[in-house]
Chain A
Amino acid sequence: MKRRDFIKLTSSGLLAAATPFHSYAFDLSDKKKYLFLIELSGGNDGLNTIVPLNQYSDYLDIRPNIHLQSDQLNKSFHSQSQEFAFNPNLSSLFELYNQGDLIPLLGIGVKDSLGSKSHFKGLNIWNRGSSDLKNEGWLTQVNNNLSQIQYQNASSLIIRPFRGTPLDGSDDTSIEIKNLEHFKEHQGYIRTLSDNNSNPKFRKTIEFIKKLEIDLNSLPGSVRKINFPESDFGKDIKTALILTSQPNTHIPIIKLRLSGFDTHFNQLDRHKKLMTELDLGVKSLVQALKEMGIYDNSLIFTYSEFGRRPYENISNGTDHGTSNVQFLIGGGVHGSRTFGYYPELLSNDKDKNLMTHLDFRKIYASIIKDFFNIPLSDKNIFNDRFFLHKDYYDPSLSLF
């Protein structure tokens, strides 16, 4: 495999962080992995995504206008001797839970003072596992480890690029794309141009555009028949699948984005629409992965820059908060159980926000070790990359 140097010098000049993953020889070729990241941009409202039925009366107290009614909350399940219910529009996700393919992550968030209620800082923290902008994305090192199997120098795919990703700082170029037909059309012209670029970023990007081979008809017929949602999100999922199914290729990390979760007002209607969009999107994605025979090697992980305030505001919405609910979904996942635990709705922090009971970086460690099968480091890890150390791994959060 390609050996890379990750030695980085901090501003103080001290050797700060070498790669936690040594040049470990592992082989993924016969078991290709696909991690689908879905960024729920704007900060999803966890409380109306999975409702804690045990605390329903407290829930009604803090959400007098924007609660889900009890007769809608029939997609219920028990876990850790508590009762929960999925948002009524998450029927496919509920089904996946019952089939044992989905793990709700409860009370997940950013522990200690690291957390931020800023969209942009919050997103950076989730992307890096750290608030230090000098750090790379949390998947960057994984990505570099996976680059033995890269697809024309790219081992990641970003649909509809916008701001940062967990792959920031990667040596590899990501495939960044919006619309495949447009891309193919313009690529044809770009390929006829001579190379005159003096600027390194332009040069690198143009070279990459020229080189990329894309077969628009790569999807098997059975997948093409699937009813992908008409929304941008549905189209993006299809674009991602076309690219992941290119012959003789493997893109292990795919990032999608569903935006509109910053529901400061009129939350019930807007959130309903978003939940439906997420549910239909995931449904079609799972269906396609099954048809493509890679569902068992795939993992879908949702994340948001922060959770929302449990108390509703005057505009029937919610302001920025802390801990949240997220999902891990996949054919190989040992589902029908929950990780973390649901915060007490009435025992909040000083800003009236929910407590965090599951550090998001623990899930990162599980994904790296369990899903990608990359051993966590046994060496000292500096800075705040401690979650890449093997001692940080929590066996009770094993995905399988």
Chain B
Amino acid sequence: MISNAHGLDNTNSFLLKSLGYSTKKLIKSYSHLNQKQAASTILNSSKGFQPIEFPWLDKTSYILTHSKCFNRRPNCKKQEVLENIFKYKNSLKKVPGFNWKRQKDFYNIKSLPQLKSFLENPTRGFQAKFRRNQETLFKTEILKYFLNSKNTFRLKLALFFQNHFVSTLNIVRSPQYILQQFNLINQQLMGNFKDFVSEITLDPAMLLYLNGNRNFCKRDESGECIAPNENYARELLELFTLGASKENGIGNCYSEQDIKSASLALTGHLISPKTGKVQYRKIKSDFNLKTKKFPRKSIFQEPCHVKGFSRKIPFNKSSITNTDSLIEVLFERRGQQIAYFITEKMLKEFIPSSTPGFQQEVFRIQRVFFKTNFKLESLYQGILQSNILVDSQNDFTITRSPLELAMGLLKSFHIKINSQDRLKKINSYLIDADQNLFNQGDVKGWNTGEDWINMSSLTYRIALAKFIFDDVLQNKCIENTISFKKNLNQYLLSQKIHSNKIFKSCNDLYKVRDLIISNNQIQMR
């Protein structure tokens, strides 16, 4: 019944407008333009970004993050924190997605001592419930935003960087900071990667996630800084810029000593509990009060020769004082590795690394990326203009992320999901399919491509697809499915699925649903 021989391209063409689109098809859809022109058109239309705002998040989220009372261990000793919560008690009550009236104990709090005793012994499950509701609401709102997003190429880039500079709701505990970071990512992704790294280093969500806000100093007798927190420094080098892999002749190009030096340079930042803004406190940094100097820390002293690179590493600077000079020296002395690592990681999102000519493309694109001083647009341009991306010889597919799968189906079949409950349900399927949005399992982020698939996740992915179809079919089978039928018809034609007896009854539609779901092409782009 289903012919797979030519179905591939058509499926992708059908899903062109959704997040789950194929970039190859997107380029080819500009049939009157050559590849270079098409790439420029896509890039130009991806510029400009209106920050996302969820007004209800403002005050409440801030309390969530900074009040120890809302952390796992109730500990409300600080008067100031208590006063803050009391001040915002009324705005807390207005948080949607949570029935505050049910939380009678909280609702009836009239005085500070009452609040204190409530928060020290909160209603059973109160805190957990509060956090869960905030997070779910945040995620359903962001799902709506994704669905309505016109520019899917830009969205794809934003999601790539959110999975690169990972910071999670679980640890940050503030949808507000997570949203702020997502906006930052969107603002930076058309700029320069070096600036991007500088900005993200001092982003509140990132400071919270990798303890940058706890990276202070103990002093030894000479006033020198000892025992900072190395968490951010290590991941900055291993995951965000240089990569740990020694495959392909690219060394990781950093040592344990480099991590120690970097963590010292990063000391002194914290988030003001009053304003939620990042502050720098020299006194908490490694500035030596006795010598009145920042100690100069040597970093990246080892030459790091990389096969295939002809450029010499500049040797004029290898010592750092503070955060700015760290990022400066990192990009100056390890720029080649950074360009290579980021280019390879991003290209894999568009072309499987097993495609013939993949490594040569990485070399070609990273060279331009490096030469333009890490201008991200040149990286995207390199990818969109790649020969192997559009080469008809390369008939590759890439496994969709669960989010791409959901968004692809919803958009392609013009399925409108307005109800909060259904969005919640989709969110919970995404979690089960191993894509807990803004909540990666660890700092490395989701492994993508075929790694999305295991026995457990695939089970949920199929269930997710079924849920999306059934949402249309179950309640409104007869009355409201005319446009849906039209879309199905279009899909079946594109898939060269030949069937005589469909679309007559609801049962027929269920059969069509099963045909689509059982074809693994909806799982791929």
Residues of A within 8 A of B (CB): 41, 116-121, 133, 160-163, 173-179, 182-183, 185-187, 189-190, 192-199, 201-203, 205-206, 208-209, 259, 264-265, 269, 311-315, 317, 319-320, 351
Cross-chain contact A313 with B520 (CB below 8 angstroms): no
Q: A161-B456, A196-B518, A209-B458 are in contact. Are A313 and B463 (CB under 8 A)?
A: no
B462: A residues at CB distance < 8 A: 186, 189-190, 193
Within 8 A of A (CB), among B2-25: 2, 4
- Bound CA span A175–B2, Å: 30
Q: A264-B229, A311-B227 are in contact. Are A196 and B519 (CB under 8 A)?
A: yes
21 example contacts (A-B, Cβ-Cβ < 8 A) are as follows: A120-B244, A163-B447, A173-B455, A177-B455, A182-B432, A186-B459, A193-B518, A196-B519, A197-B519, A199-B523, A201-B450, A202-B453, A209-B459, A259-B441, A264-B211, A264-B229, A265-B229, A313-B228, A314-B227, A315-B214, A315-B229
B238: A residues at CB distance < 8 A: 118, 120
- Bound CA span A133–B244, Å: 13
Cross-chain contact A202 with B463 (CB below 8 angstroms): no
B2: A residues at CB distance < 8 A: 196
- Bound CA span A97–B401, Å: 46
Chain A binder among B124-132, B215-223, B318-326: B215-223
Within 8 A of A (CB), among B414-451: 432, 441-444, 447, 450
Cross-chain contact B247 with A133 (CB below 8 angstroms): yes
- Bound CA span A209–B456, Å: 9
Cross-chain contact A118 with B234 (CB below 8 angstroms): yes
Question: Chain B interface residue count: which class?
Answer: 35 or more
Q: A178-B432, A182-B459 are in contact. Are A351 and B256 (CB under 8 A)?
A: yes
Of B4, B214, B215, B256, the contact of A196 (CB 8 Å cutoff): B4
B404 at the A interface (CB under 8 A): no
Q: A264-B229, A314-B228 are in contact. Are A175 and B455 (CB under 8 A)?
A: yes
Since A205-B458, A209-B459 are in contact, a sample of 11 more A-B pairs with Cβ atoms closer than 8 Å, ordered by chain A residue number, is: A117-B256, A160-B456, A176-B454, A182-B432, A182-B459, A194-B514, A195-B518, A196-B519, A199-B520, A205-B454, A351-B256
Residues of B within 8 A of A (CB): 2, 4, 73, 211, 214-218, 227-231, 234, 238, 244, 247, 256-257, 260, 397, 432, 441-444, 447, 450, 453-460, 462-463, 466, 514-515, 517-521, 523-524
B229: A residues at CB distance < 8 A: 264-265, 313-315, 317, 319
Cross-chain contact A313 with B455 (CB below 8 angstroms): no
Cross-chain contact B216 with A205 (CB below 8 angstroms): no
- Bound CA span A176–B432, Å: 13
Q: A314-B214, A315-B229 are in contact. Are A193 and B459 (CB under 8 A)?
A: no
Of A193, A208, A317, the contact of B517 (CB 8 Å cutoff): A193
Q: Closest residue of chain B to A174, judged by CB?
A: B455
Cross-chain contact B455 with A314 (CB below 8 angstroms): no
Cross-chain contact B520 with A196 (CB below 8 angstroms): yes
CB B219 to nearest CB in A, in angstroms, measures 10
B517: A residues at CB distance < 8 A: 193
- Bound CA span A80–B403, Å: 55
- Bound CA span A191–B266, Å: 54
CB A41 to nearest CB in B, in angstroms, measures 8
A176: B residues at CB distance < 8 A: 454-456
A199: B residues at CB distance < 8 A: 397, 520, 523-524
- Bound CA span A255–B232, Å: 30
- Bound CA span A279–B184, Å: 42
A163: B residues at CB distance < 8 A: 447
Closest 5 pairs between A and B when the two form their complex, measured CB to CB: A193-B518, A315-B214, A176-B455, A319-B230, A202-B520
Cross-chain contact B518 with A121 (CB below 8 angstroms): no
- Bound CA span A185–B218, Å: 55
Q: Closest residue of chain A to B517, judged by CB?
A: A193
Q: A118-B244, A162-B441, A186-B462 are in contact. Are A198 and B231 (CB under 8 A)?
A: no
Q: Most A CB atoms within 10 A — which of B443, B459, B520?
A: B459
